[in-house]
Structure 1
Amino acid sequence: MIARMLAVLALAGLTSTSVAAEGPKSFRVDYSVSILGLNIARSSFESTIEPRTFSVSGTVASSGIARIFDQTEGTAEVRGNFGDDGAQGNRFLLNYTSGKKKKSTEIAFSKGTVTRALNTPARKPDPKVWVPVKKADLVSVADPLSASLVKASGLRDVCDRTIKVFDGEMRMDLRLSYVDTGTAETRGYSGQTVTCRARFVPIGGYKGDHKSIAFLKNKSKILISFAPLGTTGVYAPIKVSATTEIGTLVVNARRFEAISQ
């Protein structure tokens, strides 16, 4: 469970890209993940964006004190298209190793609808406590990488939405609401941000009696700060914080820049 949550947190909402007006553009974004001030993970992604298509690939790994308890390393990639509602992945692939166990997740989509989801090794959840994912829940959803791309007419409008995410097993909503605007500065970016409160709503694909899920749903305070990517009308997370049962988890962008134009 720790490995899966680490992989999702380091991937969900953690890629920055923009819609190019013409020709491909490439971007690099690096993130660090910490809890109680202790570094536990890092991720690095490169994105190539064209007028109607995009691709993202990168790595994620546990680091610092987390490697003592759970050594996780992995790669992720997605290719897709831009639609009216943002990025729509066509194929998402995650491969990672937790300790000595190798795991993978592959999700195929057709216009935002999941057509196939394969986890290796396959899980056999207890049907007595498992909340299943219904077929209707897999329509108009995004993988963790594509879900990070937000099209909006302005800063305030970024928070006026629900982000529907499917990670290959769990289906969840992040219902955003406006908090405030501010500024941020990191390598490659200095400028305005908008902060949204995110309400975590589990839909299916989880143990109904899981204490961590219940805490995220009922007690956690989740804040996501988005930054504009040039004048593209696309916004991406630059900071995420979420309270957990053991402390506040923080994801910070250490690098957020274009590497080719």
Structure 2
Amino acid sequence: MLRPPVLRLSYAFAGLLAVALPTASFAAAAPQSFKGEYTVSFLGLSVARATFSSRYDGDNYAINGTVSAAGLAKLFDDTKGTVSSKGTISGKQMRPQAFRADYTSGKKASVVDIRFANGAVTSTEVVPAPKKRDPKSWVPLGAGDLKSVLDPMAATVIHADSLDQVCGRTVKFYDGEMRANLTLTYASKGSISVRGYKGDTVTCRMGFEPVAGYRKGRKALNFLKDRSRMMVTFAPLGQTGVYAPIRATVGTQIGPLTISAGRFEAIN
């Protein structure tokens, strides 16, 4: 079922959900806007929905979205929230300035707020504050772990010259607690048809490697690192040279999680 850590884009599902949410293009002559609508399914049942809008104006970008529990998941955990990311674009690199996730689960409200400067994290605020960590089992963040990292939204953008060059890279990801590396390697090519897009795609196998900010021996993380089959399918956003996820799957200890787009289109 959907839990608050998913909506704040943390831990293992965070890695996949972050990569599987829509983004938009790099700087262009005129402002460009895109919209994506996604469904999250577990064991074939819908458990969450996400809608994201993004706008790129010159070297600036802004992405805003909502995520909410759906279907049977609402009976057990009525979680909903908003996420946003903004920053600038330098060459082929996203340079986040701020990321924020606000969500509620029942009557409990939570916030994750991350600020950046020059490609590095300058502050992180998590409400409620995390509990005290056991130094014997916790892998702490090191001095260099928060340099040249991307927030969960900016981490979804792939800039490449063609579908052939989308895979074959490692994304440094930070969600407010965990630092992880997401490695993309080529798997296959294909095609897809959804509202707003019909055309070619490329699928990458995704590897998950926790770096810091996590508890040692956590079974779910070990499974995702060593045994899970995670696949992400990318499609181009117009002629921008940017590729965004349109479908993703991840194997978990109790069944497959699937994130798929029902809408993937430019809106201006």
TM superposition score normalised by structure 1: 0.96
Partner residue of 2:101 out of 78, 84, 94: 94
Q: Which residue of 2 aligns with 1:187?
A: 195
2:234–2:246 contact (8 Å) kept in structure 1: yes
After superposition, what is the alpha-carbon deviation per residue over 1:122-143, rounded to whole angstroms, capped at 9, x for unaligned?
Answer: 1022222211121211111100
Partner residue of 2:231 out of 216, 220, 223: 223
Superposed CA RMSD: 1.4
Aligned counterparts of 1:136 and 1:49: Cα–Cα separation in 2: 30
Per the alignment, in what secondary structure is the counterpart of residue 115 of structure 1? strand
Per the alignment, in what secondary structure is the counterpart of residue 12 of structure 1? helix
Aligned counterparts of 2:3 and 2:136: Cα–Cα separation in 1: 22
TM superposition score normalised by structure 2: 0.93
- For structure 2, the residue ranges without an aligned partner over 5 or more in a row are none
Q: Which residue of 2 aligns with 1:21?
A: 28
- Is residue 152 from structure 1 mapped to residue 153 from structure 2 by the alignment? no
Gap change, CA 1:190 and 1:240, over 3 Å in 2: same
**What's the offset of the Cα at 1:3?**
2.0
Q: Which residue of 1 aligns with 2:88?
A: 81
Aligned counterparts of 1:134 and 1:234: Cα–Cα separation in 2: 32
Aligned counterparts of 1:29 and 1:174: Cα–Cα separation in 2: 22
Gap change, CA 1:182 and 1:236, over 3 Å in 2: same
Per the alignment, in what secondary structure is the counterpart of residue 50 of structure 2? strand
**What's the offset of the Cα at 1:11?**
4.9
Q: Which residue of 2 aligns with 1:142?
A: 150
Per the alignment, in what secondary structure is the counterpart of residue 135 of structure 1? coil
The residue type equivalent to 1:3 in the other structure is: P
Q: Which residue of 2 aligns with 1:110?
A: 117
Aligned counterparts of 2:264 and 2:142: Cα–Cα separation in 1: 37
2:61–2:89 contact (8 Å) kept in structure 1: yes
Q: Which residue of 2 aligns with 1:173?
A: 181
1:180–1:196 contact (8 Å) kept in structure 2: yes
Gap change, CA 1:167 and 1:240, over 3 Å in 2: same
Per the alignment, in what secondary structure is the counterpart of residue 136 of structure 1? coil
Q: Which residue of 2 aligns with 1:250?
A: 258
Q: Which residue of 2 aligns with 1:33?
A: 40
Aligned counterparts of 2:240 and 2:6: Cα–Cα separation in 1: 31
Aligned counterparts of 1:221 and 1:6: Cα–Cα separation in 2: 22
- For structure 1, the residue ranges without an aligned partner over 5 or more in a row are none
- How many residues align? The count is 260
Gap change, CA 1:65 and 1:126, over 3 Å in 2: farther
Aligned counterparts of 2:124 and 2:156: Cα–Cα separation in 1: 20
1:33–1:42 contact (8 Å) kept in structure 2: yes
Gap change, CA 1:38 and 1:6, over 3 Å in 2: farther
**What's the offset of the Cα at 1:211?**
0.9
The residue type equivalent to 1:142 in the other structure is: L
Partner residue of 1:12 out of 9, 15, 18: 18
Aligned counterparts of 1:178 and 1:84: Cα–Cα separation in 2: 24
1:27–1:47 contact (8 Å) kept in structure 2: yes
